[in-house]
Amino acid sequence: MLRPTSSYTIFMQQVGRGLRLCEGKTKLRILDFVGNYKGAELRCNFLTGETRKGGKQLLPTDEQFILPENCTSNFDFQLIDNLTEKRNLTEKKFLRNILIEEYKKIKEDLGKVPSLLDVYTYSEEKIYTYIKEFGSWDNFLLEAGDLEEYKKLYKISSQDFLKYLEQTRMTKLYKLALFLSLFKGKVKQRVTAKEIGLSFKEFYSDKNNALELTNKKHEGYKNWEAIKFFDIIAEDYPIKHTTGEVEGAKFFKYDKKNKIYSLDNSLYAEIKEDEKLHKDILERIELKRRGYLNKKFNIKL
């Protein structure tokens, strides 16, 4: 095989020349020397007869790569690696196009640029697919051509903080109640144990949020004073897991002696002067809350 082609018909005509019957002929060996060209990724599909438009690109290592009886094939390991890389890139590009088209559909339906929560609510694709695929929600907006100018002015620390909020891991909602002690209402740089406790008490007055308070240590939480929320929940888990040597520690500090939880100075200064950044932070906190309640309790907000 010396002629490049991405046409299944032409490919089979080429192979067919060697398949012509002849007395004494029992085998045919095909040597393909033009594997490294556009359309080479279709070879495995062609050999198996799998030619559906939009079908998954097959690899020689796939279980679905099944040749007709008495036929075998040998692929150089380097070629298999190249085909694997090409398939990964193709699938990635395909997924990205799907997400952008879905976003455009929502934009057209709403008649405005969709917010993060709009896409969470209306998209058929999970919002975290957008975030994972593009690295962040703002990266997606940039790719889609809808990143607002003011967001392009955010400092690196603020961009990193928004990504942290989008991607932070949670087994409970505790982190969100802690973050809201800093960001709900007027942004604060430092909060006391009592202020944190009050934030938790208010947060868990919501019946949906309170569904997770099922451990024995949560008994009677409705009658707790604010400081008890701090002592039993806040200091034990969310503060410990957002300060020190853990993920996100560069954004928060904790003075254990005085029980003061604080936000990084430069980050606080930027958020304080930028209402839109503050709004973006609150939107991501709410996104995490809705996503958790949906996944954990099948509650759609």
Of 112, 130, 147, the domain-final residue: 147
Neighbouring residues of 174: CB distance < 8 A, sequence distance ≥ 6: 200, 233, 234, 237, 238
Instruction: Please state the domain count of the chain.
Output: 3
**Structure tokens belonging to residue 82:** 């190249």
In a domain, 2, yes or no: no
State whether 126 and 105 are in the same domain: yes
The Cα 181–Cα 201 span in angstroms is 11
Range of the domain at 172: 155-297
pLDDT in tens, 182-198: 999 999 999 999 999 99
State whether 121 and 163 are in the same domain: no
Average pLDDT, stretch 7-22?
A: 85
First to last CA, the chain: 59
pLDDT in tens, 35-60: 545 567 777 888 888 765 556 778 88
- At residue 63, the pLDDT reads 84
- Sign for the CA dihedral angle at 125, 126, 131, 132 comes to negative
State whether 213 and 284 are in the same domain: yes
For the beta carbon of residue 194, count every other beta carbon within 10 angstroms: 14
Question: Residue type at 224?
Answer: W
State whether 143 and 159 are in the same domain: no
State whether 183 and 233 are in the same domain: yes
pLDDT in tens, 259-270: 999 999 999 999
In a domain, 1, yes or no: no
In a domain, 3, yes or no: no
By the 10 Å C-beta count (0-12 exposed, 13-18 middle, 19+ buried), 150 is classed as exposed
In a domain, 189, yes or no: yes
Q: Give 168's DSSP letter.
A: -
| pTM of the shown model | 0.72
In a domain, 51, yes or no: yes
pLDDT in tens, 63-94: 888 888 888 888 888 888 888 887 777 777 77
State whether 129 and 212 are in the same domain: no
